[in-house]
Structure 1
Amino acid sequence: MANKIILTGGGSAGHVTVNIALLPELTKRGWNMVYIGSEDGIERELMTPYTNVPYYAIKTGKLRRYFDWKNFKDPFKVITGAYQAYDIIRKEKPQVVFSKGGFVSVPVVIGAWLNRTPIIIHESDVTPGLANRIAIPFATKVCTTFEETSAHVPSQKVEYIGAVIREELLQGSAIKGRNTLFFTRSKPTLLVMGGSLGSKRLNEVIRDSLPLLLQEFHIIHICGKGQVDETLTHQAYRQFEYVTDELPDFLATADLIISRAGSNAIFEFLTLQKPMILIPLPTSSSRGDQIVNAASFQKNGYAEVIPDEQVTKDRLVQTVHQVYEQRSIYMGNMQKVKKRDPLLAIIQLIEKTALSDRSRNKKEK
């Protein structure tokens, strides 16, 4: 009988992309896969193309660090979701649950624990998010992207594996990207990404800087849903709400990237050896994880960082020129990174955990 795994994670694209990266290899190895996500989260949309992976939607509540009247009713949604997840897991009987984090993962992890199903958690950031902090006590193993994360996870649970990169991102074609964008090689290309939901502030600064930046760069601007400015038209400037199929080619085309500092995205840039300028989300709109991620990358010489509250047109343009002129230094630092195969490491951990679970069940019988 084939092994079965339940995948979970959602709320943002970053909480889904690692799961998506696992799908091809799990399929190749004969695993049956099931996804548990929220009723209307981005994970449901991103999983739609994978028709071989059944999707179960459950209730979930948002875990807030600030006062909101919804904080009084959302715990009941989490409890409802945990009962729903418990029933799904009892019916599906997976050998392993793999959680990427996000609010929806909490009831799934609790449901798995109640079913005595082994749980593997993946943490992308230096410091675990609130959902993963709640889930870690229930986990069998916690995979980390940053080595520094081991200080925040019980030593017997931590597995440093590095960043999981989607295989298709490594197959991009710069020529195809330029042809799609109608760009020539007369100028280098600057790619701007504001995260899966976009960044209003980042968009504003980029657009204020266009008259100066377009003198020297072609610009690909991925600006978020509903944030395309139709009044801006220039042969060297292309705007997109969100990019999926074309992203590998656009990344291959880019000579320099401006981005927020979500872990999955910046490790993708690192793997592709793209010099970057990171503008992490401020603590006023996040828990500060992107600030820590960006600081780690700056310390290692992979990126320059501009704090969100210090972003101006002049500072941005100056930093773009600086990083582009010194791009060989940043790329050289990236080339020194020890080569790892995090995807294989996670797959092997999943298979080892499944084997242990089978052995345990046999002994109990």
Structure 2
Amino acid sequence: MKFLLTGGGTGGHIYPALSVVREIYKNNENAEVMYVGTSRGLECKVIPKENIPFKTIDIQGLPRKIGKEMIYFSSNFAKGCYQARKIISEFNPNVVLGTGGYVCGPVILMAWLSGIPTAIHEQNVVPGITNKFLSKLAKKTMVSFEDSKDFFNTKNLIVTGNPRASEVNELSLDKAALTLGLDKDKKTLLVVSGSQGAEIINHNFIKIIEDLIKNKWLQIIYVTGDRYYNEVNKKISSYDKSNIKVFSYLNEMPMALSLADLVLSRAGATTLAEITGFGIPSILVPSPNVTNDHQRKNAMTLVKRDAAEMIEEKDLKPEVLMEKIIKLLLDDQLLINMKSNSRELGYLDASCKVYNVLKDIAKTKK
């Protein structure tokens, strides 16, 4: 069976697709997979490293205003459709999956016109404009959250969860603690501010580190992002660093998550999939600078189910952050309840569900 996947621009679209590819190979070692992206997006760096056949098309996002940019977009879209149709014709997939990003537009459209069954997967609560349009063509529209049902006008919708959650492994706490140089018996706070680093999270957290590390029952894993790593290390150079580990980026993130009792982070879809996959309580600071305010709506899905607490950027201050962190970490029963609620949102079988949907709709190919 042949599977064609497409999705790009950000890790939030790419890594769920990668999880599905791994599930495909796990269940069907003879499966053929092709990935279609762009030459400018993150996918052109990530996918080839996974030894997945990769093709690119030329496409850009839809302009927000009508003008000269729209004329260029129309020409570019037509070119992308031509390239997508050629790839589809040569590969002849049984089914096509789009996980988001404007690259999905031409690929899903050309597959649909070619009579090939298609499906899409939306990671955020609020869908992007591309997925809202493509849901009208897709045999199945898959979503990560129950709350997403309100944003799609289709009967072919199924809640699968985010395939990224299926990447969670049952890790040995002893091994995780040894690898990271931590104590598995201490309360652990994991602070993650993204690959580049969220300025407002870093600037507020830096101001409370000294007071936090005075609590010897607490240890901190702090992933600063590249931009803030040197600044943070300079700030804490004179502190007792026996109970804090600082990283610019952490390859062993699953180990950090397995140790964490509480996470402080943004509210991107992939981050929340990992958090709920491990069933970790969280303090979420959604970015207001995203389309459709989708991070705040992602966060609210966890908040409404008592799996997380949220601080909006306008309300974020060092003293507010300090109070919330200490309050949660000292309340064992609250953490237990939040952990259970978070785990219920985890959808650890998400990749399997998506694979089964693809396998079923592939049978409808004429």
Mean Cα deviation higher: 23-32 or 292-301 = 23-32
Aligned match of 1:205: 204
TM-score under structure 2 length normalisation = 0.88
Match of 2:106, SS?
Answer: helix
- 2: CA distance, partners of 1:236 / 1:32: 47
CA contact (8 A) 2:165 2:347 kept: no
Aligned match of 1:243: 250
Aligned match of 1:44: 44
Aligned match of 2:3: 5
Mean Cα deviation higher: 341-350 or 304-313 = 341-350
- 1: CA distance, partners of 2:359 / 2:340: 36
- 2: CA distance, partners of 1:70 / 1:221: 42
Matches within 5 A, 1:252-267: 252-267=258-273
Letter in 2 for 1:18: P
CA contact (8 A) 2:2 2:94 kept: yes
Deviations 1:165-193 (A, max 9, x none): 45442233333332233223474221122
Aligned match of 1:231: 234
Match of 1:113, SS?
Answer: helix
Taking every aligned residue pair, what percent have the same amino acid on both sides? 27
Displacement after TM superposition at 1:196 (Å): 4.7
Displacement after TM superposition at 1:72 (Å): 5.9
Matched, 1:299 2:304: yes
Deviations 1:54-101 (A, max 9, x none): 111222213454799866634443332222111111111001111110
Matched, 1:21 2:19: yes
- 1: CA distance, partners of 2:263 / 2:67: 36
Letter in 2 for 1:108: V
Matches within 5 A, 1:31-180: 31-51=31-51, 53-63=52-62, 65=64, 73-180=72-179
Match of 1:6, SS?
Answer: strand
Aligned match of 1:220: 221
Displacement after TM superposition at 1:296 (Å): 1.6
Letter in 1 for 2:279: Q
Listed as ranges, the gaps of 5+ residues in structure 2 are none
Match of 1:333, SS?
Answer: helix
CA contact (8 A) 1:281 1:291 kept: yes
**Please, what is the CA RMSD of the aligned residues?**
2.5
Going from structure 1 to structure 2, the CA distance change for 1:76 and 1:23 (only over 3 Å counts) comes to: same
Going from structure 1 to structure 2, the CA distance change for 1:8 and 1:335 (only over 3 Å counts) comes to: closer
Instruction: Flag as ranges the 4+ runs of structure 1 deviating above 6 A.
Output: 66-69
TM-score under structure 1 length normalisation = 0.88
Displacement after TM superposition at 1:279 (Å): 0.8
Deviations 1:258-295 (A, max 9, x none): 1111123213212211110011111x443211111111
CA contact (8 A) 1:86 1:114 kept: no
Matched, 1:345 2:335: no
CA contact (8 A) 2:262 2:281 kept: yes
- 2: CA distance, partners of 1:169 / 1:339: 10
Going from structure 1 to structure 2, the CA distance change for 1:73 and 1:314 (only over 3 Å counts) comes to: farther
Aligned match of 2:292: 287
Listed as ranges, the gaps of 5+ residues in structure 1 are 361-365
CA contact (8 A) 1:103 1:131 kept: yes
Mean Cα deviation higher: 170-179 or 257-266 = 170-179
- 2: CA distance, partners of 1:320 / 1:72: 51
- 2: CA distance, partners of 1:80 / 1:139: 22
Q: Whose relative contact order is higher, 1 or 2, with alpha carbons under 8 Å and at least 6 apart?
A: 2
Going from structure 1 to structure 2, the CA distance change for 1:132 and 1:223 (only over 3 Å counts) comes to: farther
Aligned match of 1:270: 276
Going from structure 1 to structure 2, the CA distance change for 1:338 and 1:122 (only over 3 Å counts) comes to: closer
